A = this chain, B = another copy of it.
Amino acid sequence: MAGHDQRPSRHPLVERILGGDRRAVARAITLIENEAPEKRMLLRDLYPFAGRAQIVGFTGSPGAGKSTLVDQVISYLRGAGLQVGVLAVDPSSPFTGGALLGDRIRMSRHAADPGVYIRSMGTRGAVGGLAKAARDVLYVLEAFGCDVILVETVGVGQSELDVLTVADTIGLVLTPGAGDHVQTAKAGIMEIADVYIVNKADLPGADALVREIELMLRDKASFREDWRPPIVRTVAARGEGTEAVWQAVRTHLAHLESGGWRAARRRLRHRSETTAVLHHLFDRFIAERAASDDTWRRLLDGETGLDPQTCAEQLWSELKQRVATTEHEALPGKRI
Contact: B299 with A336, CB < 8 Å?
A: no
In angstroms, how far is the closest chain B Cβ from the Cβ of A288?
A: 7
| A106 CB within 8 Å of chain B | no
Contact: A316 with B40, CB < 8 Å?
A: no
Give bound CA distance, A9 to B304, whole Å. 19
CB-CB under 8 A from A79, the residues of chain B are none
Give bound CA distance, A271 to B271, whole Å. 27
Contact: B310 with A44, CB < 8 Å?
A: yes
Known: A47-B306, A278-B312, A320-B285. Is A301-B271 also a contact (CB below 8 A)?
A: yes
Contact: B43 with A307, CB < 8 Å?
A: yes
The number of chain A residues with a CB under 8 A from chain B is 53
Among A83-91, A213-221, A322-330, the stretch in contact with B: A322-330
Contact: A277 with B312, CB < 8 Å?
A: yes
Contact: A278 with B48, CB < 8 Å?
A: no
In angstroms, how far is the closest chain B Cβ from the Cβ of A291?
A: 12
| A279 CB within 8 Å of chain B | yes
Contact of A312 among B274, B290, B315, B316 (CB under 8 A): B274
In angstroms, how far is the closest chain B Cβ from the Cβ of A214?
A: 27
| A27 CB within 8 Å of chain B | no
Residue in B closest to A264 when the chains form the complex, CB atoms: B301
Q: Which residues of A contact B (CB under 8 A)?
A: 40, 43-44, 46-48, 266-267, 269-271, 273-286, 288, 290, 292, 299-303, 305-313, 315-316, 319-320, 322-323, 325-327, 329, 336
Nearest first, the 6 A-B pairs at minimum CB distance are: A270-B302, A277-B312, A47-B307, A273-B308, A267-B301, A274-B308
